[in-house]
Amino acid sequence: MNVIVVGCGRVGSALAAHLAQRGHRVTVVDQAAASFDNLPAAFVGRTVEGEVLSREVLYRAGIEHADGLAAVTNSDAVNAVVAHVARVFYHVPNVVVRNYDPRWRPLHEAFGFQVVSSASWGAQRIEELLSAAPLRAVFSAGNAEVEIYEVVVPDGWQGRRLAELLPASQCVTVALTRAGRAVLPACDLTLQAGDVLYLSATLEGVESLRRRLDERQEE
């Protein structure tokens, strides 16, 4: 896959290195030559110095033949414009945008980009860790609007049915692991203490699930 990474800061350099290690053909674009020092010495891709919004620079980077482009500068406006140009004018099939400032995230979403907002996701994750929640997020979709959580069934839920644990909506069982074996559980499954549940839930769904767990532990 031919991939262009626009921006060679901490995120861009790490992304470019990972892609190259996986065998992709990577070109990194940045307006400051010194930024390429962030790349590891073993990086085998190409670097293109120049104004990232320049048509000539994008041509040098091979945008006409790119399979994917990641706009990951620390300017949300630049990321939006580069992504829009790549998708609309050059028909790059897979475009991903980094959201640097959460206040700009609605702009990226309005364009319909695939957006990664590390600040928004990080704040939510840190909040979960600080609250010592019994649920642990193991995967986030989008920008954490839906996540997959891991929860170990407590002693207080021994012998109860799965349907009694789950909220009626906003929460779906992905898998259950018991004694090292994973299954797709039915709602009438009887739980055992120590079972590990993987649940897909919205923020509202997981908050409802937390309340149910807390209520059961208090009984």
Tell me the per-residue pLDDT of 114-129, one tens digit each, with 9 for 90 and over: 999 988 888 876 776 6
Q: Is the pLDDT of residue 199 over 70?
A: yes
Q: What is the pLDDT of residues 129-185, one digit of tens each?
A: 676 556 788 888 877 788 898 888 888 888 989 888 887 678 899 999 998 899 999
Question: pTM score, two decimals?
Answer: 0.69
In single-letter form, the type of residue at position 178 comes to R
DSSP state letter for 194: T
What average pLDDT does range 91-104 have in this prediction?
95
Q: How far apart are CA 100 and CA 117, in angstroms?
A: 7
In percent, how much of the chain has pLDDT > 70?
95
Q: Please report, for residues 56, 105, 114, 120, 216, the alpha-carbon distance to residue 142 in angstroms, rounded to integers and kept in the order given.
A: 32, 12, 8, 11, 31
* Neighbour count for residue 82 (Cβ, 10 Å): 26
User: What's the pLDDT at 103?
Assistant: 92
Q: Which residues contact 91 (CB under 8 A, 6 or more apart)?
A: none
> According to DSSP H, which parts of the chain are helical?
10-21, 55-60, 76-88, 105-110, 118-130, 162-165, 203-218
* Homologous superfamily of domain range 2-116: NAD(P)-binding Rossmann-like Domain (3.40.50.720)
User: Domain 124-218 class?
Assistant: alpha beta
pLDDT in tens, 40-49: 999 999 999 9
Intervals of CATH 3.40.50.720 along the chain: 2-116
Please, where in the chain does CATH 3.30.70.1450 lie? 124-218
Check pLDDT > 60 for residue 2: yes
